Amino acid sequence: MHERLDGTLAEFVQAQRVFFVATAPLADDGHVNLSPKGHDTFAVVDPQTVAYLDLTGSGVETIAHLRENGRITICFIAFEGPPRIVRLYDRGTVVLPEEPSFAGLRARFGSFDGVRSVIRVALTRVAESCGYGVPRYRWEADRTQLGEWARAKGVDGVARYRSQNNRVSLDGLPGLEAGGDE
């Protein structure tokens, strides 16, 4: 266990091509959400804060769960090189394009179409484990479909899509208000 993310731990998580985000609603019968992320959308802000760029998707579970209770876990797995798993725990917040802190966080990432928000996480626990049971895989390339989809829809089309698909979670929790791209 670690209280902060620095040194080789920070280097490890920033070098991974994929990470997983887990959240859950408070309701006992709610759905636990686990979302894979990629495209170089993760950043270490400081040893106790991380952020990732949230791109438009078919669901809005992470945003809805964070707004309800803030609980989040982010998991990184070494698919290449020495076996290693790092989990980041604690409270996440949704930072929307119209919020003052958005621009500074957004500047940490490259150019992406279809940006919904930045998810910022205040860490209180960093756990590291061996990863001996994780198979080896080799990265080939990022998929291009999400960016192509957002560019084809355009800013107004993405806003309409969010309005239709990102207003509530699977469990009926509030997601996003109607709105355009960043």
The pTM of this model reads 0.94
In a domain, 18, yes or no: yes
Q: How many domains does the chain have?
A: 1
> DSSP string covering 55-83, please?
E--S--HHHHHHHHT-EEEEEEE-SSSS-
Q: Is the pLDDT of residue 100 over 80?
A: yes
List, for residues 59-97, the tens digit of each pLDDT value. 999 999 999 999 999 999 999 999 999 999 999 999 999
Residue 182: predicted pLDDT: 56
Residue 106: predicted pLDDT: 97
What is the span of the domain harbouring residue 120? 7-165
Indicate which CATH number applies to the domain containing 126.
Answer: 2.30.110.10
In a domain, 60, yes or no: yes
List, for residues 6-23, the tens digit of each pLDDT value. 999 999 999 999 999 999
In a domain, 40, yes or no: yes
